[in-house]
Structure 1
Amino acid sequence: MSALLQLQEHGQSYWLDNLTRGMLVDGELARRVEAEGLRGVTSNPAIFHNAITGSDQYDEDISRFSAQGLSVEEVYDRLTIADVQGACDLLRGVWESTEGLDGYVSLEVSPHLANDTEETVREARRLHEAVGRANVMIKIPGTPAGVPAIRQALFEGVNVNVTLLFSIAAYEAVAEAHMEALEQRIEAGRVVDGIASVASFFVSRIDALADRRLGEMAAAAEGDISRFEALFGQAAIANAKLAYRSFTRRLATARWARLAGHGARPQRMLWASTSTKSPAYSDVKYVEPLIGDLTVNTLPEKTIDAFRDHGRAGSTLSQGVDEASRTMERLAEVGIDLGDVTDQLLAEGVEKFAVPFDQLLASLGERMTRQPAAVAVSSEVVTP
């Protein structure tokens, strides 16, 4: 059995970290679902930037929408929502067969709203209604302003994929918001058994920044630098394992038991940023050690191919947790402030989505001005 299919035996689903019009039209996404056990899809502004600017398959829609007098922002909306709807429809069978556990497609709110609670709630509500599919998840960043927006969106019945989580403290704030939203729904006489959420905890970027700082410290140190070198590539997995420990402890509480009694689903942990950034590390470094019950790993195509080829599946998340704690202690001893690392990554993460978002809008604006009159042939993907 393929290592990809074996993940399910250990309680983990894998989702594709990419979405393009091409993979919907040519059957690639359907093949991955039917033959390789793919159980979900995530998107973000960077993914849509690459998809739309790198393909002519959107030209007919761009031309038609432009002729209708739509703004650049409205055209972006139509294109991205159409792709998400197409993917949701394709994954509907997974959603049904897993009784709402999997089969989700994620669409992100504007990255420019990361620090605006009220606008984030309005945008999450609008996108949820615009897509109009039960298996859509709206991505909201786990920023301080995002946490109350996440709580409100979940209370309103919007499935939420919480993104840009780097620190355990940020994850715990989001997990608390999830539980509070469910409790508020119960108090209001609303059902909770249909509310789905994942907490996207970023991994490889932790090592990329921690390693850079360790390298700078080693270069400036006098004498033995082995204490720095021994910690290269250790921070990210340790951080993720300790976050998962927090997740499992929360599920073991009487508070969660009460929610589960009403049919509530756990907010599964999702490992994001799982492609290997350094050529010195294994290309499945952020897959093999992070396999465990009630988790999702969202993978780009290259990492999926690598894991299919030579990855090994096993229940690894609960292993080495004490060692993960010691790793954190050793990082602190040499001067790595992980809180500062995760704060920097959060700020950079918001910017890394805002920049391609703005670039895509600029590119769409240029294409709209040079598109010929709209053609009569409709797109192969249903548009809203």
Structure 2
Amino acid sequence: MTGTLRRWVLAVTVAVFTNLALFLAVLPVQVSRMGGSRLQVGEATAFFSAGTVACELLVALLATRVSMALLLAAGASLMGAGTFAYLLAADSVPAMLVLTAVRGGAFGINVVTGSYLVAAYAAPAERGRALGIYGLAVSVPAIFGVSLGLLVQSAQGPQLLYVVGGLPALLVGLGFAVFVLRRPPPPVTAPRFHPPALPTLLPVAAVIGLITMTYGALVSFGPALVAGGGTAAAPLLFFVFGVLRAASRPVAGFAVDRAGALLVSVISALLVAGGCAVLAAWPRGAGLVGGAALFGSGLGAISNAGYVAMLERIEDSGHALATATWSAAFDGGVMLGGAVFAVAAQAYGIGAVAVLLPVVGTLAWLTMTADWARLRLAPG
């Protein structure tokens, strides 16, 4: 990848993931303020993730017909334009949900094309470093973005956020499209999804899905869960969560090389389960900070370790399938978490979220531990 192309891809990635972070917790809060039910609050997260999963799968079909670089530019532009369109939704919750699904689809396009371009154009000897830099571009916006979005929403209302949050993704996406049309990147082989033994990936995919169900619940109902801690509680929750999630990713990569991906995945799932339990039982003060730290550390670590565990189970020719399976499990879990926890909150109140959160987190840890034990005890 040339220096200019690399900088463009990283700029698009930062703009898109900043947009994601700014609105991750803002949209559920805004839907609630617009008079939406608890079910619709959860749907704000579920609709976004549904669009993401659908377009992650769609990219595989489009990749043989359209430049991956142009798809990346189109996804960023659509995400920015969709954010601006919130201004037209006025007080319509259904319109907000539809636009959220559109933004989710745009994000799904960027998730697949961005990581693919970085890996495809990096020299083999530099691929690890290139993906590491890409990982920072993905995770750093979440450190400040979620908390900043909530603070701006509280102080200025959402309209300013729609403009400021949408403009960078739209402009960078359009700029990258012009760059690609004027200087097309060298051709690369389009990703192909070979059919290796998919069942070998399913145990880890199930764990990722369960863990991101709790993440979907946190995004949707975290502000309500910690409301007793005061107006600064939700921004603090997501700030601590974001810092530890970003910091744990390189640490997990170091640990995977020495202890193995499966063991690190077991420990990561345990951290998530512990964070869920602490936040559910003690959602203020030291409990809020400690729970967010455990949760963020576990999610960041298993984002690396779980992915490597999938790659280790199949031949190199199946790595594209492993990537698609991991992405679908992650975003599908967020979608399912938003929907399932929304139904529970609608029927039984926010207390149901506090009960279910540690249950699902513990189930993820038990599933990961069982898979690790099964492979440890397997002959040979």
Task: Determine if the TM-score, normalized by the shorter chain, exceeds 0.5.
Answer: no
Q: Aligning the two structures, in what range does the TM-score lie when normalised by the shorter sequence?
A: under 0.3
Greater share of helix residues, 1 or 2? 2
Larger Rg: 1
Normalised by the length of structure 2, the TM-score is 0.26
* Structure with greater strand percent: 1
